[in-house]
Amino acid sequence: MKKLLFQFDTDPHPAVFDTVVGYDGGADHVIGHCGLTPGNVGPLVDGTIFTRSPKEKKNTAIFIGGSDMLAGQELLAAVQQRFFPGFQVSVMLDSNGSNTTAAAGVAILVKNRPLAGKKAVVLAGTGPVGQRVAALLALQGAEVFLTSREIQRAKNACRAMAERFGVKTTPLETHDDTARSKAIADAQIVFAAGATGIELLQAKHWQDNPHIELMVDANAAPPAGIGGIDSMDRGSERHGKIVWGAIGFGALKLAVHRACIARLFTDCTLVFDAEEIFAVAKAMV
């Protein structure tokens, strides 16, 4: 029986990245639907749960993506509400690679040293990746600060993660790299989660900082999100700090993403969100 992955995207186009990884994770067919909301997803869910026998249902799965984290969370809730006993399929939420990227990035940090009690700053943390990074760091016991160019956006992101994960994170407004360098002044962990191709810090802003221990830059497109970190850095030592660039930890992100897709087809009752995907990443790092 063919393994079918239904890609439910909240954006106007299903993400090509997610389609490719769907196939690489083991799906025989990936079927994309876009512009999905809690209001229009119901009939599509019905198509996944009413078409195969109980033993066959594990061969159908749902992947939720898109660039809006809150929209993704709401779509996941709507999909789950449509399920009822005996009529469900496995589902994974990974808006903009949020959960798989955050899980891989935080898993490498946890493997390096305990994070409890450390001050962590998530730079430009208002996007899907940054929000999930902030939540996972806080769940590890770190004291987390999340920056944005607009304080209201930072507050909204912190509130959303508090509601979803029950964690406390502190919003900070940082208009430019000088403000961001002040935000990391006494931090031990810095995680850059800014938009693709945006430099958030220059090398001079962190190289002489005596407090920073670990740094991760998620931005894979030049220029780097953190100047002085190479995208290929993989636990490299630079100026006394251990650093990872986007490609350096991106290999684990991709492996985690593929592994989660593969697992969707082993049972029809699985839900892969941040916590479950983080558990997969910790086991793989």
- Give 87: exposed, middle or buried? Use CB within 10 Å, 0-12, 13-18, 19+: middle
The verdict on 285 binding ligand NAP (CB under 6 A) reads: no
d(CA 67, CA 51): 30
CB of 123 to ligand NAP, least distance (A): 8
d(CA 236, CA 228): 12
Report the site for ligand NAP in 199-218 (rule: CB under 6 A).
218
Candidate list 31, 44, 162, 195; residue touching ligand NAP; CB under 6 A: 195
Beta carbon nearer to ligand NAP, 101 or 169: 101
Candidate list 60, 90, 101, 209; residue touching ligand NAP; CB under 6 A: 101
d(CA 219, CA 71): 23
- Token pair recorded at residue 179: 């403000």
Kindly report the backbone phi and psi dihedral angles of residue 42, in degrees, each rounded to the nearest multiple of 5, phi listed first.
Answer: -50, -55
Beta carbon nearer to ligand NAP, 46 or 150: 150
Candidate list 49, 124, 260, 280; residue touching ligand NAP; CB under 6 A: 124
Listed residue (272, 267, 275) closest to 88, CA to CA: 267
The verdict on 253 binding ligand NAP (CB under 6 A) reads: yes
Candidate list 10, 19, 188, 219; residue touching ligand NAP; CB under 6 A: 219
Residue pair 25/33 in contact (Cβ under 8 Å)? The answer is: no
Residues that bind ligand NAP (CB under 6 A): 96-97, 101, 124, 126-130, 148-150, 153, 193-196, 198, 218-220, 246, 250, 253
